[in-house]
Amino acid sequence: MAPRNLTRYGWYAVAAALATMALKFGAWALTGSVGLLSDALESTVNLAAGILMLLALRVSAQPPDDTHQYGHEKAEYLSAAAEGLMIIVAAALIVWTAVDRLLHPRPLEQMTVGLTISTSAAIVNLVVGLWFVRLGRRNHSRALEADGRHLLTDVVTSAGVVVGLGLATLTGWERLDPLVAMTVGVNIVVTGGRVLWGSVSGLMDPTLPPEEQATLDAVLAGYAERGVAFHAVRSRQSGHRRFVSLHVLVPGAWSVSRAHGVVEQLEADIRTALAHLDALTVFTHLEPLEDPRSYRDAHLDREPPPAGPRGLTGPTGPEPAPPSAAPAEAAEHREGPR
């Protein structure tokens, strides 16, 4: 399956960031509001994040090669993590600027025009942000979803600034402007932390989501009733890709052809059950049900063989008795959280 190419959405993110940045800095130039400046500073982060996402999407769209045989999808997690850090840096700049303005207040000018421009920029971010979140979830793209959430955070920021500055204009209390900016900065830190944590979690090879894992379990349960057992059932996510690996234990009396036919059908059934995933790879390992050696690799690290005569290891050594569990019970030998 050819890797999906989402690069064009990166260009849309860059275009939207440039447009909103121009609008917001124009609003700040007209009004001198530190609240609007904080909003404009975040738009520069949007531009940097959009460029980074564009690069990450280009890398993740590359097919597997000799040095990255499982693909390049994790580049999106790196992009999202960097975006989370940039969000936090933007928040720090906003708070720093707000503290200075809190200590040295100044009158605001042309607020009606400035707030109108800022609202227009927020509408652009709202439309693009909702679109990116939907696209990211549909395509299992961490970079797209992170950028969409960042843009939606920017919308919340703009809304807070507009409301706060509106109140400052009505009441004449100039210090309300930097207080709004500081509140915005705290909100941005929380969002940046969430984006960063989600990216770090993705880099640690999480298992399939619970609903997908339940679908996989249902397929395996049907085969367990036919005398086929499983262990070492593992899964992981890498961007939009899903990987499932498992060991299939069948009666040793079966012919290779019969056992292979069962495994081929099992893999096809798993892919059919998870057909909504656009990139699913299934690895199977066939083992005889009665051979005690088949159960040494139920865990991630294979158990060493028992010592034989003169300290040798291998088939000559004493073998542990195979589990007495029924095939259906053997399916309980799993690795990782359920």
The residue ranges of every structural domain in the chain are 7-203, 210-334
The share of the chain scoring above pLDDT 70, in percent, equals 84
Average pLDDT of span 44-65: 77
Q: Does domain 7-203 have CATH number 3.40.50.300?
A: no
pLDDT of res. 6: 75
The pLDDT of residue 206 is above 70: yes
Average pLDDT of span 130-152: 82
Region for 77 from its dihedrals, namely left if φ exceeds 0, alpha if ψ lies in -120 to 50, beta otherwise = alpha
pLDDT of res. 7: 77
Same fold, 7-203 and 210-334: no
Report DSSP letters for 257-303, one per residue. Answer: HHHHHHHHHHHHHHHHHTTT-S-EEEEEEEEETT-GGGGTTSSSSPP
- Tell me which H or E stretch contains 142: helix 142-171
pLDDT of res. 109: 65
Whole-number Å distance between alpha carbons of 272 and 192? 37
Phi, psi of 241 (to 5 degrees): -85, 150
For the chain, strand residue ranges (E) read 229-238, 241-250, 280-288, 333-334
The pLDDT of residue 287 is above 90: yes
Region for 277 from its dihedrals, namely left if φ exceeds 0, alpha if ψ lies in -120 to 50, beta otherwise = beta
pLDDT of res. 182: 80
The pLDDT of residue 135 is above 80: yes
Identify the residue with better confidence: 215 or 323: 215
- The pTM of this model reads 0.58
Q: Specify the CATH architecture of the domain 210-334.
A: 2-Layer Sandwich (3.30)
Torsion of CA 188, 149, 151, 168, to 10 degrees: -40
Whole-number Å distance between alpha carbons of 282 and 268? 9
Whole-number Å distance between alpha carbons of 268 and 271? 5
pLDDT tier at 127, thresholds 50, 70, 90: very high
CB 50 within 8 A of CB 193: no
CB 154 within 8 A of CB 184: no
Burial of 99 (0-12, 13-18, 19+ CB in 10 A): middle
Average pLDDT of span 265-293: 89
Instruction: Give the residue among 234, 244, 245, 246 at the shortest CA–CA distance from 337.
Output: 234
The pLDDT of residue 335 is above 60: no
SS3 174: coil
- State pLDDT tens for residues 66-84: 888 777 777 777 777 777 7
- State pLDDT tens for residues 3-24: 456 778 888 888 888 988 888 8
Whole-number Å distance between alpha carbons of 74 and 194? 18
- State pLDDT tens for residues 219-243: 999 998 788 999 999 998 877 778 9
CB 231 within 8 A of CB 295: yes
SS3 179: helix
Strand partners, 243: 236, 281
